[in-house]
């Protein structure tokens, strides 16, 4: 059975990205993306955030490119991570591993 894992999201950068480096020296950035509803506004009842992770060349962009509030289109794959805290609690996080990041130009009114 063939599987297909691809997502395309649009939203706003909720917090500036954090950059770190893997043991081989390649960069990784991670930031939360606030998802929008069909009208382009945050969903009713609060924020809907998903973590975006980018590796390699995508993570080499200047961090200024991704300012809080910047409207982005993110293309990538969903991934779930599972771990256990030192207190023994199980945790799960769903992330998008980005394969493309693009600014969305705001329409003039």
> What are the pLDDT digits (tens) for 31-53?
999 986 655 555 565 568 999 99
At a CB cut-off of 8 Å and minimum separation 6, what does 102 contact? 72, 73
- Residue 42 or 76, more confident: 76
Burial class (CB in 10 A: 0-12, 13-18, 19+), 102: exposed
When the pLDDT of each residue in the chain is averaged and rounded to a whole number, the result is 85
Structure tokens at 67: 């300012």
Return the SS3 of 41: coil
Domains and CATH numbers, the chain: 7-103 (2.40.50.140)
Beta bridge partners of 19: 29
Q: Does the predicted model carry a pTM greater than 0.85?
A: no
């Amino acid at each position: 059975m063939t599987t297909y894992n691809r997502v395309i999201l649009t939203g706003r950068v909720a917090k500036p990205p954090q950059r770190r480096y893997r043991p081989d020296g390649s960069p990784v950035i991670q930031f939360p993306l606030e998802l929008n509803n069909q009208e382009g506004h945050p969903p009713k009842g609060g924020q809907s955030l998903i973590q975006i992770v980018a590796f390699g060349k995508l993570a080499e962009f200047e961090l200024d490119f991704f300012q809080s509030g910047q409207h982005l289109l993110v293309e990538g794959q969903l991934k779930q991570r599972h771990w256990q805290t030192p207190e023994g609690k199980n945790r799960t996080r769903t992330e998008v591993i980005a394969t493309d990041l693009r600014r969305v130009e705001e329409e003039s009114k």
